[in-house]
Amino acid sequence: MTDFINALNSLKKKGYYRSRAVMSSAQDTIIKINGKKIINFSSNNYLNLSNNTQLKKLYAKKINEYGIGSGSSPLISGYSKEHHQLEKELAKYTGFESAIVTNSGYLSNVGLLNAITEKETIVYQDKMNHNSIVEGTRLSSSKLIRYRHNDYNDLINKISSHKCKTKIIYVDAVFSMTGEISNLKILSEIAKDYKALLVVDDAHGFGVIRYKKNSFPTTLGMFKKQDLNIDAYIGTFGKAVGTFGSFIASTNDLIDLVVQKSKPYIYSTSLPMALAGITRDSLRYIKSNYEINEKLVHNIEYFKKTAEKHNIVIEESDTPIQIKIFGSPKKVLDIQRKAFAEGLFIQAIRYPTVPKNSDLIRIGLTAGHKRKHIETLLNFLKRI
């Protein structure tokens, strides 16, 4: 592609051109964009921890102790006791043998696919999977086959009709642009029946979905342990955990293979030690502060109940990701602009993030929202 100007003009004409809002405050419930204070419904900061006072103090201490950067990739000198301890704790929190810390959720998916797939591997994916899983498969030598969104019969039809050395079912546990939760019990059964590996990306469920008071919140906790047959699990720190980075949890052998073969892991500077350290603190904070998850659930319920009362049609979702589909990129951009003028930051999500004609408004609820924030939002949604 050499005709950059035409490419940009074409995006603009179709309503698919993207621009970045410049924020000049901390990531929080109220943020500052273009000098204007605004209620933030556009983050994945689900537990509102990224600007948490207690964690910020602990982070400052860690920075004093370890400095700012890690200075090297993990296999050279960028792997510290903080990374090591974090991995041990992650394995415990998620119930897997082992875990490996990576630089981002995107790189967890790209790196895992890079390490565990070969030419004779087929990766079966839901059509609404996150782009990092799709792109990770395309970048690997394996074959990508996509099935209709949440259509497990379509998956069975496809997976039963191919012969290959390794089959992998790879799915979002919570779909990032709809908030729907995958049925990991059914997917586990299908994986077992067709001798496939099952990989689950829980970027939007890790730290968020809390069914058991005393265990760490994950989407896995919604299901009975004996009903799950998951080979690898991915979680991220940049969303509910409030820090940055990601991890893969699995068996000792699979994690060792990632260390040996994952190019994004081997050839990239590791997360700063202080960041690995503060992530440990944040995970501990989440585990011992049940109330923040309760507050989040409360906000989700309040949003849904009040929307229904006002006859505002939203898609079904029990997670902090709430959406309203409009099916036109220009329409959702216009709504985003109007919301901004009224002091609300909501996101217009357009193709190719969602399929064509499914353009939508995405609302990210957090534990930091107050009733009055949610009411202001619903008051706006009622009028559009």
Ligand X SMILES: Cc1ncc(COP(=O)(O)O)c(C=O)c1O
Least distance (Å) between residue 350 CB and ligand X? 16
Binding string, residues 221-250; x marks residues near ligand X by CB under 6 A: ---------------x-x-------x----
Least distance (Å) between residue 234 CB and ligand X? 7
Cβ proximity to ligand X, 62 vs 362, nearer residue: 362
Q: What are the Cα distances from residue 257, in Å, to 90, 111, 141, 175?
A: 18, 11, 17, 27
Least distance (Å) between residue 93 CB and ligand X? 17
Q: Could you say whether residue 130 binds ligand X (CB under 6 A)?
A: yes
Instruction: For residue 108, give the H/E element and its range.
Output: helix 105-116
Q: Could you say whether residue 206 binds ligand X (CB under 6 A)?
A: no
Among 52, 104, 114, 376, binds ligand X (CB under 6 A): 104
Torsion from C-alpha of 211, 216, 219, 221, nearest 10 degrees = -50
Q: Which stretch binds ligand X (CB under 6 A): 157-165, 198-206, 213-221, 356-364?
A: 198-206
Q: Could you say whether residue 70 binds ligand X (CB under 6 A)?
A: no
Instruction: For residue 120, give the amino acid letter.
Output: E
Least distance (Å) between residue 131 CB and ligand X? 8
Exposure b/e, 3-35, CB count within 10 A at least 16 = b: eeeeeeeeeeeebbeeeeeebeeebbbebebee
Q: Judge whether 292 and 46 are in contact, CB under 8 Å.
A: no
Among 125, 132, 142, 279, binds ligand X (CB under 6 A): 132
Cβ proximity to ligand X, 272 vs 307, nearer residue: 272
Q: Judge whether 71 and 79 are in contact, CB under 8 Å.
A: no
Cβ proximity to ligand X, 236 vs 306, nearer residue: 236
Among 200, 203, 286, 365, binds ligand X (CB under 6 A): 203
Among 78, 105, 235, 320, binds ligand X (CB under 6 A): 105
Q: Judge whether 264 and 102 are in contact, CB under 8 Å.
A: yes
Least distance (Å) between residue 172 CB and ligand X? 5
Take residue 154 and report the two structure tokens written for it.
């379509």
Q: Which of residues 156-175 bind ligand X (CB under 6 A)?
A: 172
**Phi, psi angles (nearest 5°) of residue 183:** -85, 90
Q: Which stretch binds ligand X (CB under 6 A): 26-34, 84-92, 186-194, 200-208?
A: 200-208
Least distance (Å) between residue 304 CB and ligand X? 21
> Could you report how far apart the first and last alpha carbons of the chain are, in Å?
39
Least distance (Å) between residue 244 CB and ligand X? 7
Q: Which residue is nearest to ligand X (CB)?
A: 105
Cα(194)–Cα(175) distance, integer angstroms:
24
The DSSP output letter for 222 is: G
- The DSSP line for 9-77 is HHHHHHT-------B-S-SSSEEEETTEEEEE-S---TT--TT-HHHHHHHHHHHHHH-S---S-TTTT
Pairing mode, if any, of strands 232-236 and 246-250? antiparallel
Binding string, residues 311-330; x marks residues near ligand X by CB under 6 A: --------------------
Cβ proximity to ligand X, 87 vs 201, nearer residue: 201
By CB under 6 A, name the binding residues for ligand X.
104-106, 130, 132, 172, 176, 201, 203-204, 236, 238, 246
